[in-house]
Each structure stands twice: as C-alpha cells, then as structure tokens.
Amino acid sequence: MKATILHNPRCSKSREALAILHGANAEVTVIDYLKQPPTRDELTRLYAVAGINPRDALRKDAPAVADDAAALDLMVRDPRTIERPLVETDKGVRLGRPPSAIRAIL
C-alpha cells in the first residue's frame, strides 16, 4: 500500500501517524509541508476527498477566517496554519487527529 503524509517532524501527532503507517508496512512518501507547501489546488482536492471543510482543517491557534476560501488562502500563505498530519492512501484522505483516525484508510 502507498501512502502520502503531509508531515511536520516536530509534531508528536504527525510522528505518531508516520509510525502507524510504517507499522502497516505502507510505502510512505513523506512531505515536510513546511519546506514543500502544498498548493491551494492540492489542499482543495485533499479536503474534498476527506470531506473536510478547509476552515475545520486550520490549526486551532490560526487566525479566524471568514470562509473556506480565506482558510485556503491563509494555509497557502502560511503553511504553519495547516492542521497535521494529513494522510492520503488509495482508500481516501484523513486528518490524523487523533493519529489513529488514519487506520480507516489503511
């Protein structure tokens, strides 16, 4: 199984999700999204597949935004505002909060 994770190595939840993927013997592509930020189109696609509104995918300490378009603009401008980890497999996309949530797509 192949998996892609938008990962922050300093985040314990992100490290936990990565360990779950390795434990499932997934072939993992790790994207350090702070160094390689996703595009607006990629975030839009990922959240649509996950069934998540972009505003719900902002970190809790991110500035308040008026709508989903503003949330995406903020995430592209400042990737630190993206809630992590975000994991994609052939079975879908999940926000790993809690990390065990990604088991549904393994």
CA distances 63 to 4, 13, 58, 59, 85, Å, are 27, 21, 9, 9, 19
pLDDT at 18: 97
Burial class of residue 25 in the structure, from the number of CB atoms within 10 Å of its CB (0-12 exposed, 13-18 middle, 19+ buried): exposed
pLDDT tier at 26, thresholds 50, 70, 90: very high
Report the share of the chain in percent with pLDDT over 70: 100
pLDDT at 13: 95
Mean pLDDT across the stretch 36-53?
Answer: 97
pLDDT tier at 101, thresholds 50, 70, 90: very high
Domains and CATH numbers, the chain: 2-105 (3.40.30.10)
Catalytic residue among 11, 34, 76, 105: 11
Q: What is the mean pLDDT of the chain?
A: 97
DSSP secondary-structure letter at 65? -
Q: What are 57-83's pLDDT values in tens digits?
A: 999 999 999 999 999 999 999 999 999
Instruction: Identify whether 11 is a catalytic site residue.
Output: yes
pLDDT at 63: 95
